[in-house]
Each structure stands twice: as C-alpha cells, then as structure tokens.
Structure 1
Amino acid sequence: MAGNEFDLINRYFKSQPVTRRDVDLGIGDDAAVITVPENCQLVVTTDSLVAGNHFLPDADPVKIAHKALASNLSDLAAMGAMPAWCSLALTLPEPNEPWLAAFCEGFYKLAEYYQVQLVGGDTTKGPLSITITLQGVVPAGKAIRRDSAKVGDWLYVTGNLGDSAAGLDVILKGNAPKNETENTLLNRHYYSEPRVLAGQALREIASSALDISDGLVADLKHILKASNVSAVINADTLPVSDELMAFAGGEEAAAKIALTSGEEYELCFTVPESHRGAVDAAFAHTNTAVTCIGQIRHGEGVTVQWQGKPVDWSLSGWDHFSE
C-alpha cells in the first residue's frame, strides 16, 4: 500500500471534525505535539480489533469503527479520565475507498461526540485489523485504579448487561435478524455507549473500577486479585433489558448471559459504605443507570448467588468471534 498511503491519509484522515486547541502539531509530521493541561496526568490505552476475531470481515465498517473507538473510550472511562487525542494504525488487504469512507464516517461521528482528535497513525497492507491508541487526562492523583477495593465495599455496574453477547449470537447465526428484538440486540453489540461521564463522576466516590470487556465475572476477578479480596454477586439483581429477557426466555438464562457477556463497555465499580449515599447524586447528570449487584468480602474469587443462595452455574467465558 506504500504508493497509496499518503493519498489515503490526506483524503480521509487529515480532514476531520475535531480540532483541539491543545494539539500543537497533528497529522502530517513524524509525530504529534500536544500540550497537556497543568496538574493533570496522562492516561493512555491501546486496543486492537482483528477481523475474524473481534468482528466478521464483511461487517459494516461504520459499526466496526464505532466499536473500535468505543473500546478505547471505555478504558479511559474506567479510569475516570477525559479522552482527548488518538492515533490509528489501520491494516487493509488492499486500498478500499468505499470501506474507508464508511469507516471514517463511524469513527468521526463518535470522535466528534467526545471531542477526540486524531493526531497520527499508520496505514499498511495486510490482514484487516484496527489498532487505536487513545490518550486522555485525569486530575493528578484522581485516576481510579483496580487495587483499592476494600472488604465491605458495595459492588455496582452501569447500564444493562448481556445485550452484547445476545447480539453476537444473532450475528453468528449468519442470517438477518428475524424480529425487532434481535435487530436491537445486534445493534447494541456494535453500538455500545462508553460511560465517559459516569467514569468522571466516580473519581470521588469509587474505590476501584474497570470496564466490562471480557464478561462481568472474568473482569471482576482483576479487581479482586489486585485488591486481595473476594466478592458476592446477587445474580437476581443484575440489570438486564427487556430484549435480553425475551431473547433468553427467562430470568435465570438472562442472568447467566449477563454474567459472562463481553464487549459491554459498561463499568463495574466498588463504593465504600461511607460513599454509598452519594452514588445517585454523582450519576444524576450522566443519564446512566446504576445498580448495586453485590458486595466485597474477605477471601478469594467470586461467589454467585440467586435469591440469596449460592449457585454453581457453568459460566463460559467471552470468546469474541472465534467460537
């Protein structure tokens, strides 16, 4: 793609809807130059999406672009950071301008919403893949970490859980959605909403947080291991959508999906008892639902309860498209 690289960059990436005043030098030089606000720390994350693993090769590039940027935005949200700048490394089997135009449409729409400026990247020839490095800022000392959950903290999640896995199941069937429920779930798989405002609201009240990318049970274990604690999840309190209930065919089936569904990009976080009364007020301006689903305990691992009694459910992990 070497002969077309600069033409593609000029045509699709130099013109974009976001121009931040803190970007001193953006696309067009060897590297970007950025002014970081005083008394802030830089927060950096990188995610790669590979065709055949994270999305099907013939998937709508508008949806792929949203998903790629949303996964990075969600990482910063979990840290309580404000997104600002990103770079994009795009590998394409061949120059495909209709695909690229649609990809940029989805990418820039989400980037503009969160005022993220594309400041650099690379294009190359090879199997279809997308790698985004997103940078943001957080007030010094205010980043939310995984290693500070304490025994007695309450366990919360944002939004609804399980829709992404159900949407993936619809996609993997290989047919068009057969009803409005399946169509809604499919779109929720691709068009997740990063909880950026919610993450910033948690800076003063959460003891730990992360985003749900590999499934609630799998991801929660990262907090538990880093903090040397265990957790109890009350599965009957998990927030699930009406569409998931209809798709799963029952409360327990929906709860099992909610426990393992990945690429949700909802936040899972812990709150000390002393801050529990502040949760609703903190979220009042974020337009984000929040649900208490359990508590942090002594010990190791995750215990799942249903209506107050421990259950031994077989919970398979999230496996993208590779199944």
Structure 2
Amino acid sequence: MRQDVATPEKDVRQIALLPRSLRNKQLPGLAAAAAAVAVAWLIHTTVPVIPFLTAAVMLGILSANLPGISTSVEGVLQPGLVLSAKRFMRLGIVLLGLKLSLIDVAALGWKTLAIVVGIVLLTFMGTLVLGKALKLPGDQPLLLATGFSICGASAIGAMSGVTKTDHRDTVVPIALVTLCGTLAIGALPALKGPLGLDSVQFGYWVGASVHDVGQVVATAQTAGAAALAGALIIKLTRVLMLAPMVTGAALVERCRHRRTANGAEDTGIKLPPLIPLFVAGFMAMIVMRTLGILPPVVLEVAGTVQDLLLAAALYGLGASVQVRSLLQTSGRAIIAAMLSWGLIAALAFVGVQFI
C-alpha cells in the first residue's frame, strides 16, 4: 500500500519531530552532504565550466565507488543521505519556481512557445516509447522521459515524488541524464560551426536540448551573452512544463490506483493527490515571481538556497550509484538515454530553424 506524498512543509515538520536517536543516525550523512556541497561549490568556483549541481552528483558517485569511502556511504552515512536525497530535492523544486516569470515566457510569442512545448512533448513521448520498447524496469521509462524532456535531475525528483518511486530506483535515470548533460557541455559548442548556427540560434538550441539549468549556462556561455540569454529563457520555459507534466502523471496514477484497488476510497487505500503539494508550492513560487512581490535580494538568497538544497539532494542520489553495477545491469537504459539525447538534440535543432 502506498502512503501519502510528502510535502516541503511536511518534510521540515517530520525532520523536526524525528526521535532524537533517529536524528542522530542521520547527522553523519547530512554532514557529509554539507561537506560535499562545499567541495562542489569550490570546484565550480575554480572551474566555472563545471556546473555546481553536476559537480555535486559526480562527487556522490565518486563517494559510492572509492574504496574505503564507499563502506561508510553504505553504512553510517546512509540514513542522512537518504533524507537528503528525498526531502531536500522537494524543497529545492519549490524554490526553483522563483526562477520563472510568466511575463518572460509570454514575451517569447505563441510560435516560439508552441515549438518549445512541442519539443518537450515529443521528447517525452519518444523516450517513454523507447524505454518501454527496451523493456526498462519499473518507472525508469517515465523518469528518463521526464528528465530528458524537461529539466534533468530536478524533474526526475519531482516525478518520482508522484509515482512514489524508491529513491534507489531514481539512481540510473539521474546518473544518465547527468552524464548526457555533461557531455553536451563539450559536444554542442563543437557542433555550432559545422551546423551553421549563429550565436542566438545556438543559444536557443542549447536551451531547448540540454537538461539541467547549470549545464545550459556552461554550454551556452561559450558563444557569448546573446547565446546565454536566449538559452536561459528557452530552458526556463521547458522548466515551466514540469507542473502540468507531473500533474498529468498524478492523474494517471490516481486512475491506475482506482482500477487496481477497485474503489480505493472505500477500502481505505490513500490515493495520490492530484497536485502534490510540493508541485503546488512550485507553482505558487512562479506566481510570486511573476507578480514581482519579492525584492531582488530575497530572490537572490532563495536562488542560492535552492542550489544548495538540490546539490545536497544530488550528492545523496549520486552516492547510490554503483558504477560497476550500473554498467553490468543498465545497458538498455544507457542505450535509451543516448537515443533520447539524440532525439531532443535533433528536435531542438529543427525547431530552432522556425524560431
């Protein structure tokens, strides 16, 4: 039986009400996540081309696979890392909404908006079909489709909150979307000249095809300020699709529960909410940013807090990735990810020609 979806407010309250012994068990993992966030920040500051969140997840993967450290990750650090991966991800997604203004999205015009939405939907459906055709287990097809079409690891975290996927089952999709987004930082600038794209077109292509916001910045800035500005607005428009896509998944999940439970309301089985509260929080933050009721200093602080929360969550998720096991058991998932990456890059390239 599935339990109710956790919310950011509920997450904070649950952490505060945890028994002292359980909180003590989680402290080492939380401290490790905090230390990793600091190291990731230092790496990003020293080498700006490496996105902050990418550095965090890669540190998590290293921690899970280096002799000595991996023992601690699977032992004393695990409770805190699990908490970080699940709770901090949802809190970070809520604050992500403060990066989006509906006014900026509307300024793109209906034609550009329709192209971006089309790219997202076609990538989502194409990846979902690929994942099912390759017989990926569990929710992997859905999570890969969400991550590659919308906004990488953050979107996977949001979707897994609706489907109640165990955080360990999100490891492969997050590892693969991070891998492809990292490869894009080097691959896409190398293709700018051969494809005959000017700076603005290149920025649009990057924004429409690269997954994580940090990876978009790292890729687009190689072509200058105009490319970066265009990439960010297109990318944030894709992020806006997170709410309707997750809400749609929640509706499908409710219908599935009703069919499976044969009238779940009467049997005491709790159905997933139509709109998870952390997604409602994300939408509320978008409205607040659009209305302009928050001063710039608050937006700046919230942006920093959001990055720190997502970095801690991604370190916790990365610390679940066993590279040897991933390579041995996830060959089909790797194929699906590479095909999905090629699909969104091709769709975005075609779409750019009409913007």
TM-score by length of 2: 0.25
Greater share of helix residues, 1 or 2? Answer: 2
Higher RCO (CA 8 Å, separation ≥ 6 residues): 2
The TM-score normalised by the length of structure 1 is 0.26
